Structure formats: C-alpha cells, structure tokens
C-alpha cells in the first residue's frame, strides 16, 4: 500500500486536494491529522487533561464558556471543550514564549496523533486499499515524511492569495491572528524543495494559485497519472496485500531510502549555511 503524505502550508489547499482524492475516480481513504488532533484532546482524554493543567492557570478563557447550551462540566460531563481560538492565540506566533508554548502543545498532541495514524494506516491496509493519504500540515516537521512512499506538497506562490483564502474561509480570525498562523508554519517553498529533492515520483508539488479546475487537472495529470499509477500499479498493491512480509520489507526499504534523502537534505542545508 502506498502511503501518500499530503502537506503544504495553512490554507494552501490540502483539504481541497484530499477531498478530490477521497472522491471518484480515486476513492482513497484520508487520514486527516487536524481531525485526529481534535479527537485526542476531547474532554476526558489524557491530551485534554495535560493541556488544561499546563495552559489552564495562565489562560482564563482556555475552555468554552459555560452557558445555557454548555453545562459547567461540558456536554459529556468530562469537562468543557477547549476554546480553540484562545489556545491558538497562545501558540501561534513568532515570539520565544509562544514558540515554547507551541512546542509544549505539540509534545502533548503529536504522539497521540501518531498513534491514531498508525492504527488508521493498519486498518486501510487490512481493507486492501491500494494507497492511503496522510493529510498532515506538519508532515516534515513531525518527521512523518520518512514513512511515506510519496509526498505531495500543495503550495501557493503568492502570499496574498494564501492570506485572502485564509481570511475568507476563517472570517472569525483577525488579520493579526491570521498572520500569526501563517508565520507559525515553515515556508511552503522549502517544503516544495524538500519534496522535489526526494526524487522523481517520490515527491511532487502542485501550485494552487489558479482556480479549482486547474488544481483538479494537476492532481489528475501530474500526481495520479504521473506518480500513483507508475509507483503503485494495482497489481503491486494486491501483491503487498496478499503477502504481508513483502509489505513489511517494502515499508522498511522505503523508510531506509527516506533516511538517506533526509541525510542529503541536511548536508545540503548545512553547506548552504556555511556559504553565508
Ligand atoms: C492550536 C489549536 C487548538 C487551534 O485550533 P483551530 O481549530 O483554531 O485550528 P486547526 O486545528 O483547524 O488548525 C488550522 C491550521 O493551523 C495549522 N496548525 C495547527 N497546529 C499547528 C502547530 N502546532 N504548528 C504550526 N501550525 C499549526 C495547520 O495548518 C492547521 O491546518 C490546534 O491547531 C492544535 O491543537 N494544534 C496543535 C496540534 C497540531 O499540531 N495540529 C496540526 C496537525 S498534527
Ligand atoms: N484553487 C482555488 N481557488 C479558489 N479557492 C480555493 C482554491 N483552493 C482552495 N481554495 C479555498 O481556499 C480555502 C483554503 O483551502 P483548504 O481548506 O483546502 O486549505 P488547507 O491547506 O487544507 O488549509 P488548513 O491548513 O488551514 O487546513 C478554502 O476555503 C478553499 O475552498
């Protein structure tokens, strides 16, 4: 089974691409890191408790306010849900304190998300899917790219297009909140470069500055026909499914190859830094 890592930057079009890939003719299962990141911090979970105990004392509005529709102990009796915009204001931005808080939140949420992802991948394999999409905004940052057979980066070249789409989709965000969110993520051009450096078929970039039709066409021609159909023909998927040891060997081989790619990438970046 081919693991497709789908990434980009905020509001560059990952969800739009994942909804294309989950519909006909592709019909791939999507494992959405943002959704899992919500699930693992629901009231009553270990993640929720860790967030409340770390951020609670310094964030008065950390939980959704009680009211006629929100009982004091939350709808499930396990506590009121997190007030996500308030937590977002604590962790999105550039200052050292905000970075520290973001690292803390990541250290609570990411391990739980990885566990849920591994389970979902295993389920997709058992069901016999030919490929599965891991929709992960922080794919490279969280090292999940190493498990992927191919990485698809959805980027937007013009920062204004990205900001306009973000503000149109999330009108509740102030201009400053939106800027902070964009700045909290690595530059999408660097992600595109990393994808390309993986080598042909192992990394693809689609630029989504045009309209949705253009995006759809790139997904079909560049990604599906150019990569998936070549990298993972149907017979190969069936073979890996019918022979689990072959799937394990193939996964290990892929992981080892990606470690080498990562090593080359680090050396290249160090050489560039040394030149400055
Ligand atoms: C801070 C939180 C509560 C804000 O929630 P909110 O509903 O307002 O935003 P949402 O979760 O939909 O995220 C929107 C986008 O922000 C970006 N983003 C989210 N978390 C992070 C992060 N830790 N670092 C950088 N960018 C992030 C992603 O592009 C994401 O798609 C939430 O983003 C969160 O819990 N983040 C930590 C977990 C995480 O890293 N999630 C990303 C996938 S694992
Ligand atoms: N080519 C396009 N033309 C016009 N609007 C687009 C295009 N691609 C995406 N959008 C819109 O831009 C917004 C952001 O896209 P999307 O939600 O897919 O981004 P994302 O990368 O998944 O964002 P996030 O990281 O916040 O989850 C959405 O409202 C989407 O409908």
Average pLDDT over residues 228-247: 89
Q: Ligand 1 centroid vs 98 CA: distance in angstroms?
A: 14
Domains of the chain: 2-29+127-275 (3.40.50.300), 43-112 (no CATH)
Residue 276: pLDDT over 90: no
Per the listing, tokens 């950390």 go with 62
In Å, the largest CA–CA distance within the chain is: 62
Q: Ligand 2 centroid vs 103 CA: distance in angstroms?
A: 26
pLDDT score recorded for residue 212: 96
User: Model confidence at 232, in pLDDT bands (50, 70, 90)?
Assistant: confident
Q: In this predicted model, what pLDDT tens digit does every residue of 65-75 receive, in sequence order?
A: 999 999 999 99
pLDDT score recorded for residue 96: 93
Average pLDDT over residues 129-151: 93
Angle (CA) 242 246 247, round 5°: 80
Q: In this predicted model, what pLDDT tens digit does every residue of 154-209 receive, in sequence order?
A: 999 999 999 999 999 999 999 998 998 888 887 899 999 999 999 988 999 999 99
Residue 49 CA from chain centroid, whole number: 24
Angle between helices 46-55 and 84-91 (to 10 degrees): 60
Average pLDDT over residues 29-34: 95
pLDDT score recorded for residue 185: 81
Per the listing, tokens 């690595």 go with 186
Name the residue with the closest Cα to ligand 1, atom 44: 33
Cis-peptide into 25, omega within 30 deg:
yes
Sequence-ordered list of residues with C-beta below 8 angstroms from that of 47, at least 6 positions apart, any chain: 40, 41, 108, 109, 112
ipTM of the complex: 0.89
DSSP conformation class of 81: P
- Quick one: which ligand is closest to 15's CA? 2
């Amino acid at each position: 089974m081919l693991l497709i890592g789908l990434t980009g930057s905020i509001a560059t079009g990952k969800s739009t691409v994942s909804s294309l890939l989950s519909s006909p003719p592709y019909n791939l299962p999507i494992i959405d890191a943002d959704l899992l990141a919500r699930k693992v911090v629901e009231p009553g979970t270990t993640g929720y408790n860790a967030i409340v105990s770390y951020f609670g004392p310094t964030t008065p509005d950390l939980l959704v306010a009680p009211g006629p529709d929100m009982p004091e102990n939350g709808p499930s009796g396990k506590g009121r849900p997190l007030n996500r915009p308030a937590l977002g204001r604590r962790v999105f931005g550039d200052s050292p304190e905000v970075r520290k808080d973001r690292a803390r939140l990541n250290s609570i949420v990411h391990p739980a998300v990885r566990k849920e992802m591994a389970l979902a991948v295993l389920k997709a394999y058992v069901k016999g899917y030919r490929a599965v999409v891991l929709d992960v905004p922080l794919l490279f940052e969280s090292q999940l790219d190493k498990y992927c057979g191919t990485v698809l980066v959805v980027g937007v070249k013009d920062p204004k297009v990205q900001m306009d789409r973000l503000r149109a989709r999330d009108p509740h965000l102030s201009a400053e909140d939106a800027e902070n969110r964009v700045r909290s993520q690595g530059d999408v051009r660097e992600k595109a470069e990393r994808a390309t450096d993986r080598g042909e078929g192992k990394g693809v970039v689609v630029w989504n500055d045009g309209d949705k039709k253009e995006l759809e066409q790139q997904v079909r021609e560049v990604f599906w026909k150019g990569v998936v159909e070549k990298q993972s023909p149907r017979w190969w998927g069936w073979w890996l499914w019918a022979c689990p040891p072959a799937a394990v060997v193939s996964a290990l081989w892929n992981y080892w190859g990606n470690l080498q790619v990562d090593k080359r990438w680090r050396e290249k970046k160090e050489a560039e830094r040394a030149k400055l």
